[in-house]
Amino acid sequence: MTRMDGKALAEKMQGQLAEKTAVLKEKTGVEPGLVVILVGDNPASQVYVRNKERSALAAGFRSEVIRLPETTTQEELLAVIERYNQDMAWHGILVQLPLPVHIDEEAILLAIDPDKDVDGFHPMNMGKFWSGHPVMIPSTPAGIMELLREYDINPEGKKAVVIGRSNIVGKPMAQLLLDANATVTIAHSRTENLPALAREADILVVAIGRGHFVTKEFVKEGAVVIDVGMNRDENGKLIGDVAFDEVNEIASHITPVPGGVGPMTITMLMEQTYHACKRFLGTQANQP
């Protein structure tokens, strides 16, 4: 079994990104700018935002975190987003999800300038992605594809099963695997005979949001298992959707939690901010 070290790959890619950012700043005088907007005090969101801020600063970006109270109205949040839409010093705008229940998440995502939507959730970016002309790609699936490349896992001709059908992970993950010439099945919590279906997979991606849901009965000998889950057990320990200790006995490759997919998600957000800056500058063709 090979443990797929997302943390190590993320550190390598972020080091390369810092070098590219330094060159960009030297040639243009401009540094990529990423603003993260956090509403409320969700503990998990606080951790994610701190990690994003740390990564942005390490890459040499301009970084700002706007922390708004739980009581912020939708109109107030929209006003903040519009201010950064209009400010050309900022190339990426990220609104941390989930939002408080009184705020319409769809309305907020629609308000972000598609050119600054580094999460890739705006319908315009989703449409470009699904039509085969991607500009912004949801970061978690993009990070998974980088992990597969790092470990020389070519999806072409392979059977892939994605357990989970969210717009953030499951559906775009299936599309990226399809683009890589895999034969893809999307499954979910209501799929009949799910363990048997999952056992057909050469590449199994699990993003169902249930701690240790996938056990060894779901996994074919020698399969590649990608665990996207981020859950807490009864002791507060971070665990994945896959029962790692039993699945790693039969998988050829597996991502741990933590240290697998998570660091790659943040890395791809930084990559997309960098490329958004380059598109803004019109230097995509001749910059690193």
Is 190 marked as a binding-site residue?
no
Helix (H) or strand (E) holding 94: strand 92-95
Residues with catalytic annotation? 52, 96, 119
For the chain, how many residues are written? 288
In what side-by-side order are the strands of the sheet with 2-3? 2-3, 253-254, 224-227, 203-206, 159-163, 183-187
Assess contact for 108 and 74: CB atoms under 8 A: yes
Is 232 marked as a binding-site residue?
no
Is 166 marked as a binding-site residue?
yes
Please give the Cα distance from 180 to 162 (Å, whole number).
14
Secondary structure (3-state) at 159: strand
Assess contact for 68 and 37: CB atoms under 8 A: yes
Q: Which of 119, 145, 113 is nearest to 226 (CA)?
A: 145
Instruction: Extract the annotated binding site for NADP(+).
Output: 164-166
Residues in binding site: 164-166
